[in-house]
Amino acid sequence: MLHFGYDLPSRAAVEEIAARRRTEGVLVQGPADAGPIVGYFCMLRDPDGNLVEFSHGQPINPKHLG
């Protein structure tokens, strides 16, 4: 999946973004916990049609994968 992704400091931050964007009609998925690789996330669609992911708990640095 091709998308932009942003790491947030907490699950609450992901929930806040999802709640605000749900009322605007741009929330595509979530918030949901997809396990240790994906983490807790929500997915939005920006005005240009791009998917944008906001997540917490995703191991973004490959050195942290084990």
Q: The whole model's pTM is what?
A: 0.83
Please state the domain extents for the chain: 4-61
Is domain 4-61 given the CATH code 3.30.360.10 in the classification? Answer: no
Choice between 66 and 59, residue whose per-residue pLDDT is larger:
59
Choice between 1 and 42, residue whose per-residue pLDDT is larger:
42
pLDDT digits (tens, 9 = 90+) for 4-56: 889 999 999 999 999 999 999 999 998 999 988 889 999 999 999 999 999 99
CA 6 to each of CA 32, 42, 53, 58: distance values in angstroms, whole numbers, following the listed order: 15, 10, 6, 10
Rounded Cα gap, residues 27 and 15, in angstroms: 11
